[in-house]
Amino acid sequence: MNILMALSQLEVTGAEVYATTVGDKLTERGHNVFYVSDTLTKPHSGPFFSLRFNKRSIPRRLACGVSGLSY
């Protein structure tokens, strides 16, 4: 199974620790785990793609919420 872990953070948080711990266990079971986040500092299995969730301007955040578009 392909699994996406999407995290919105700028520093290490409990969400990052939880996502990478669960993601590593899922990888051990044969799943493909991908990570998307502003930053990802904890060691992990699977590819990481940097995406600026927290750095979007207020108008872009509002446009995303109103129109359903993602940036």
The pairing of beta strand 2-7 with beta strand 32-37: parallel
Q: What is the mean pLDDT of the chain?
A: 82
| pLDDT score for 23 | 96
Question: CA 10, 60, 35, 15 torsion: positive or negative?
Answer: positive
Q: What is the DSSP string of 49-64?
A: EE--STT--HHHHHHH
Going by C-alpha positions, the residue among 5, 9, 37 that lies closest to residue 21 is 5
**Strands (DSSP E) found in 1-71:** 2-7, 32-37, 48-50
Mean pLDDT to the nearest integer, 53-63: 66
Q: Which two tokens stand for residue 17?
A: 């620790």
Residues 12-46: tens digit of each pLDDT? 788 889 999 999 999 999 999 999 888 888 889 99
